[in-house]
């Protein structure tokens, strides 16, 4: 048990003409070591929800428990929560500001009040974890490629040694190679460092390939929550919400409609390839 969200409501600008209910009675349990994808149409409440998870926004109503303790309880150490639950914003590289890569990654742990020695050790560890070569440490972050900048920004959060890493659209604006590199990095942090990871994404293909669980938001409500296979089974309802299943799901459904005996819960190209090859081997296609 790591994070429990209970009957969470968020109303922005309450009592004004701009009142906006961004979250409606959201309930969610996140266990240690999960890799979760959060999807939903624009304005469905994804960014609002994740900012609640490390206490950046205070809920209008409801509760959030971190390891069984309400983060709204008196005396709760919010600063500690913010280092345990690391939040990487959208386009985090826009927040790089130090003269060199290494100083930028030192910023978070230094803010935690650690000794200078510890700060440097953590910065090194974090840069290593994101696969950043040492000869780049003294370089200005502004001279790096988009994907490299994003790695540095992620390292800045990792340097605080979080238990949970939450990333708001970590692949936005990257080319396909940069995207795969960031997702592979997150997978390695999940598998290797046993971090709990939550990513917001618009790519259903990435969701099907990487995460173990998908949470779907629609107009501030949690509407689906399950494995990619369970969630993408609802592809018609997802379409009605302005979302979709991975492209390959549609190919498989089309094959089924034409009488091909192929499983109806295929969500990745690799699975489809194996299933089609198996059918060809049995001469059933
Ligand atoms: N600071 C704010 N003040 C007022 N309303 C806000 C604020 N932030 C978000 N909202 C509103 O709350 C709702 C949810 O927004 P949120 O940013 O959480 O959605 P999202 O799912 O992250 O969208 P996107 O995919 O576009 O990033 C939207 O209607 C949005 O306009
Ligand atoms: Mg958002």
* Token code pair at residue 130: 């994101």
**Ligand 1 contacts CB of residue 12 (under 6 A):** yes
Q: Please list the residues that pair with 30 across neighbouring strands.
A: 3
92 CA to centre of ligand 2 in angstroms:
13
Q: Does domain 3-245 have CATH number 2.60.40.10?
A: no
Instruction: Summarize pLDDT for 65-119 with one digit per residue, the tens.
Output: 999 999 999 999 999 999 999 999 998 888 888 889 999 999 999 998 899 999 9
Q: Which atom of ligand 1 is nearest to the CA of 40?
A: 21
pLDDT at 210: 95
CB burial string 148-166: b at 16+ within 10 A, e below: bbbbbbbbbbbbbbbbbbb
State the pTM of this model: 0.94
**How far is it, in rounded angstroms, from Cα 22 to Cα 137?**
40
Spatial separation of the C-alpha atoms in residues 238 and 246, rounded to whole Å: 11
Which pLDDT value is given to residue 232?
94
Q: Residues 198-252: pLDDT tens digits?
A: 999 999 989 999 999 999 999 999 999 999 999 999 999 999 999 989 999 999 9
Q: Give the per-residue pLDDT at 1.
A: 60
Residue 283 confidence (pLDDT): 80
Backbone angles phi, psi at 128, to 5 degrees: -65, -45
User: Alpha carbon of 64 to those of 32, 69, 85, 88, 220: distances in Å?
Assistant: 15, 8, 13, 20, 16
**Token output for 169:** 């659209």
53 Cβ contact partners less than 8 Å away, ≥ 6 residues apart: 3, 5, 64, 85, 87, 164, 166, 198
**Which percentage of the chain shows pLDDT scores above 70?**
100
β-bridge mates for residue 11, sequence order: 21
Q: Do residues 204 and 124 lie in contact, with contact meaning Cβ atoms separated by under 8 Å? A: no
The finding on whether 219 has its CB within 6 A of some atom of ligand 1 is no
Q: What length does the chain have?
A: 285
Ranges in the chain annotated CATH 3.40.50.300: 3-245
Check residue 20 and give its pLDDT. Answer: 94
Contact between residue 85 and residue 162 where contact means Cβ atoms under 8 Å apart: yes
- Grade residue 260 by pLDDT with cuts at 50, 70 and 90: very high
What spacing in Å lies between the alpha carbon of 48 and ligand 1's midpoint?
6
Q: Which atom of ligand 1 is nearest to the CA of 41?
A: 25
146 CA to middle of ligand 2, Å? 20
pLDDT digits (tens, 9 = 90+) for 138-187: 999 988 888 899 999 999 999 999 999 999 999 999 998 889 999 999 99
Say if CB 87 and CB 161 are below 8 A apart.
no
Give residue-wise pLDDT tens across range 25-53: 999 999 999 999 999 999 999 999 999 99
Beta partners for residue 99, in sequence order: none
CB contact at 8 A, 128 and 136: no
pLDDT score of 264 more than 80 = yes
């Amino acid at each position: 048990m790591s994070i429990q969200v209970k009957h969470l409501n968020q109303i922005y600008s309450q009592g004004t003409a701009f009142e906006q209910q961004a979250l409606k009675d959201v309930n969610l349990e996140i266990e240690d070591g999960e890799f979760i994808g959060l999807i939903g149409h624009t304005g469905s409440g994804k960014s609002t929800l994740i900012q609640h998870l490390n206490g950046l926004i205070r809920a209008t109503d409801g509760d959030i428990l971190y390891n069984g303790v309400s983060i709204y309880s008196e005396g709760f150490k919010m600063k500690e929560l913010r280092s345990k639950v690391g939040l990487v914003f959208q386009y985090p590289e826009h927040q790089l500001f130090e003269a060199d890569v290494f100083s930028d990654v030192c910023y978070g742990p230094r803010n935690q009040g650690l000794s200078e020695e510890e700060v440097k050790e953590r910065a090194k560890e974090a840069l290593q974890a994101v696969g950043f070569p040492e000869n780049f440490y003294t370089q200005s972050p502004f001279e790096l490629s988009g994907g490299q900048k994003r790695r540095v920004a992620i390292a800045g959060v990792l340097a605080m040694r979080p238990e949970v890493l939450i990333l708001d659209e970590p692949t936005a604006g990257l080319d396909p190679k940069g995207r795969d590199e960031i997702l592979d990095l997150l997978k390695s942090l999940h598998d290797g460092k046993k971090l709990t990871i939550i990513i917001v994404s618009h790519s259903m293909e990435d969701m099907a390939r990487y995460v173990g669980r998908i949470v779907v938001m629609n107009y501030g409500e949690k509407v689906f929550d399950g494995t990619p296979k369970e969630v993408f089974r609802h592809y018609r309802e997802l379409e009605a919400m302005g979302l979709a299943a991975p492209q390959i799901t549609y190919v498989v459904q089309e094959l089924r409609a034409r009488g091909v005996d192929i499983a109806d819960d295929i969500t990745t190209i690799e699975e489809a390839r194996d299933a089609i090859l198996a059918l060809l081997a049995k001469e059933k296609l």
